[in-house]
């Protein structure tokens, strides 16, 4: 195929729109609380804007770097080792919100788990590109491909951060399936993980409480069901056109984490069904352009990379939106490009730089 002169402008435009939309909604959701906490309504949005600028800078640089540079064991395996080291090192850090998710070095703080999924995608793209015709070999191919993701998933679950672990697992299964793995092996993997998931979901008290609350949130609307009930109130209050930007009421000490985990509920309240569907439409367009890049790529490494980067965003967006409308139990997971979170935004935009570079190679 002819070499593209520039990157996919539609994909770039969608990413830019999502980032700008996210900044507006972070400000709308956090301004009142930020004023109460610090006296300035810009406390959260200023930090998010800084990471958005850094992320767009990384995107601009990486979309000009040939993606083939990453198809190198000198890049893949040191990346895996460094990420593993960071995921282990967080357990030496003090707990924050009862979890070991954050790595702190002086004034620098970030979540190593945000690096796990991109590194899993890189490793699988590198490993699977030459094994497309060997996917029946469960020991030499499937097991070896699954080992690094399983290590990451185990460490992330230990933090605990089940949401990110599930995203990582979902991307791994999707990429293995794309490579030609038979569906029976997905069934075997799910069967083998059943005891672990049963323990993590039912034997851990706070997760069991979340599931019970999800099944019957009205039983304790001011206690364990508070998050879900307030989110549903926000979504329902918005109606078709919403209450108007900055006019949401649930963010005023009712809807917890209105600018992070439950920002989609705030969007639904202020912009209504119309605004929520517009956002969903942007993610659908993103998914279409990302998958187009994957399936039009003649290079197997590029195909796996584009597919993995796109799938990771879509899975995470699905989880976040589903929690906000009570299709899934409450889980702390951000909405890509939109939710407040510097590490998440920066890493996501850097990944988009790689994806945009891949689009240079297709018609």
Short-list 112, 106, 108, 122, CA closest to 87: 112
What pLDDT sits at residue 185? 82
Position 151 confidence tier, pLDDT thresholds 50, 70, 90: very high
Question: CA-CA distance, 361 to 363, in Å (whole number)?
Answer: 7
Inside any domain, residue 322: yes
Residue pair 35/313 in contact (Cβ under 8 Å)? The answer is: no
CA separation (Å) from 27 to 70, 268, 279? 36, 15, 17
Residue of 52, 8, 26 lying closest to 286 (CA atoms): 8
* Portion of the chain with pLDDT greater than 90, in percent: 56
Closest CA to 359 of 284, 306, 288: 306
Q: Which DSSP letter does residue 89 get?
A: H
pLDDT tens-place string over residues 104-116: 766 667 788 889 9
Check pLDDT > 50 for residue 77: yes
* CA 361 – CA 5 distance, rounded (Å): 9
Given a cut of 50, is residue 282 above it in pLDDT?
Answer: yes
Range of the domain at 256: 9-359
Q: Give the mean pLDDT of the chain.
A: 89
In a domain, 210, yes or no: yes
Q: What is the pTM of this model?
A: 0.91
- The model's pLDDT over 223-272, given as tens digits with 9 standing for 90+, comes to 777 888 888 999 999 999 999 999 888 888 888 878 888 999 999 999 99
In this prediction, residue 3 carries a pLDDT of 53
Q: Tell whether 2 is covered by a domain.
A: no
Task: Enter the tokens of residue 310.
Answer: 């796109």
Summarised one tens digit per residue, pLDDT across range 194-223 is 888 787 777 777 777 778 777 777 777 777
How many separate domains does the chain show? 1
- Does 84 map to a domain? yes
Distance CA 85, CA 244 (A): 46
Task: Report the distance separating Cα 155 and Cα 170, nearest Å.
Answer: 16
Helix or strand or coil: residue 94? coil
Report H helices in the chain: 9-38, 43-62, 73-89, 113-128, 144-158, 162-179, 183-198, 205-215, 226-238, 263-296, 300-324, 342-359
Q: Is residue 1 part of a domain?
A: no
CA 249-211-161 angle, to 5 degrees, is 85
Residue where the block lists tokens 């890493």:
347
Classify residue 4: in a domain, yes or no.
Answer: no
Task: Give tens-digit pLDDT for 131-148.
Answer: 988 888 888 889 999 999
Residue 3 inside a domain? The answer is no
In a domain, 177, yes or no: yes
What's CA 165's distance to the chain center, in Å?
Answer: 10
Q: What per-residue confidence (pLDDT) applies to 1?
A: 44
């Amino acid at each position: 195929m002819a070499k593209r002169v520039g990157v996919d402008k539609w994909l770039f435009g969608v990413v830019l729109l999502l980032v700008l939309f996210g900044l507006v909604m972070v400000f709308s959701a956090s301004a009142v609380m930020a004023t109460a906490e610090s006296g300035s309504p810009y406390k959260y949005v200023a930090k998010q804007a800084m990471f958005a600028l850094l992320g767009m800078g990384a995107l601009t640089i990486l979309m000009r770097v040939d993606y083939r540079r990453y198809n190198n064991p000198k890049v893949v395996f040191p990346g895996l080792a460094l990420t593993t080291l960071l995921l282990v090192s967080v357990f030496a850090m003090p707990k924050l919100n009862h979890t070991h998710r954050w790595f702190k070095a002086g004034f620098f703080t970030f979540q190593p788990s945000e690096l796990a999924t991109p590194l899993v995608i890189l490793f699988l793209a590198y490993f699977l590109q030459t094994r497309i015709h060997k996917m029946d070999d469960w020991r030499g191919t499937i097991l070896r491909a699954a080992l690094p993701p399983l290590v990451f998933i185990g460490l992330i679950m230990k933090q605990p951060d089940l949401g990110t672990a599930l995203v990582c697992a979902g991307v791994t299964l999707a990429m293995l399936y794309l490579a030609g793995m038979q569906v029976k092996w997905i069934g075997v993997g799910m069967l083998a993980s059943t005891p672990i998931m049963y323990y993590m979901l039912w034997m851990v008290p706070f997760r069991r409480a979340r599931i019970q609350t999800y099944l019957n949130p009205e039983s304790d609307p001011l206690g364990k069901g508070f998050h879900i009930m307030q989110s549903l109130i926000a979504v329902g209050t918005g109606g078709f056109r919403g209450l108007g930007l900055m006019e949401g009421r649930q963010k005023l000490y009712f809807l917890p984490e209105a600018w992070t985990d439950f920002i989609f509920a705030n969007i639904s309240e202020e912009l209504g069904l119309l605004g929520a569907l517009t956002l969903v439409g942007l993610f659908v367009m993103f998914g279409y352009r990302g998958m187009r890049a994957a399936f039009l790529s003649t290079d197997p490494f590029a195909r796996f990379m584009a597919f993995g980067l796109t799938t990771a965003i879509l899975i995470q967006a699905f989880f976040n939106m589903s929690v906000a409308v009570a299709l899934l139990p409450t889980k702390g997971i951000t909405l890509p490009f939109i939710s407040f979170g510097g590490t998440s935004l920066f890493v996501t935009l850097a990944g988009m730089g790689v994806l945009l570079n891949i689009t240079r190679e297709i018609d």
